[in-house]
Amino acid sequence: MSGLYEGIQMEKTYHGSCHCGAVAFEATLDLQAGTGKCNCSYCSKTRAWGLLIKPDAFTVVSPVDRSIEYRFGSMSNAHKICGICGVHTHSEGNIEQMGGAFVAVQVSALDDVSVAELTQAPVTFQNGRENAWWEQPTSTSYL
């Protein structure tokens, strides 16, 4: 977005789910605030495309939460994956350097996001592979 709307937050409540629908959620977020892709071993293998929000802007709405949790490395992030179809829907964490508690919503799990909204969402790339999160990786085309 540019011109009149540049710099204006456009929060919207989206609905999302895994492929089979066993894990469903609502998230209030602003795609124009920026999304992220990382080249660490986990994110590059799962083609993760996330957007960080505060926990109070995220709710699992499934009658029964069928997600399983995967942690690795520093164990600071709980990656939530549907225990039935295997789709990664979100992560939960608490890292002081990132502002404390957060939910990283997987943009690809949003059900009611338009192609226009996706193509206009800014993407920042992080170099997690070399633990230089503040730097952009040399190559991003595979992310």
Residues of the chain predicted below pLDDT 50: 1-5, 7
Residue 78 and residue 80: Cα distance in Å, rounded?
6
In which element (H, E) is residue 45 found?
A: helix 41-46
User: Is residue 4 domain-resident?
Assistant: no
Q: What number of H helices and E strands is found in the chain? A: 2, 10
Q: What is the pLDDT of residue 8?
A: 54
Number of domains in the chain: 1
User: Is residue 103 domain-resident?
Assistant: yes
pTM of the model: 0.86
CATH of the domain at 111: 2.170.150.70
Residue 35 and residue 25: Cα distance in Å, rounded?
18
User: Is residue 139 domain-resident?
Assistant: no
Q: What is the pLDDT of residue 76?
A: 82
Average pLDDT over all residues of the chain: 90
Q: What is the pLDDT of residue 95?
A: 82
Q: What is the pLDDT of residue 131?
A: 82
Q: What is the pLDDT of residue 9?
A: 57
User: What is the residue range of 103's domain?
Assistant: 10-128
User: Is residue 109 domain-resident?
Assistant: yes
Residue among 122, 76, 89 at smallest CA distance from 22: 89
Q: What is the pLDDT of residue 73?
A: 82
Hey, what are 81's tokens?
Answer: 């994956």
Residues of the chain with pLDDT > 70, as a percent, come to 94
User: Is residue 135 domain-resident?
Assistant: no
- CA distance to 53, 87, 111, 131, 132, per residue, from 82 (Å): 20, 5, 15, 28, 30
Burial profile 119-140: b = 16 or more Cβ within 10 angstroms, e = fewer: eebeeebbbbeeeeeeeebeee
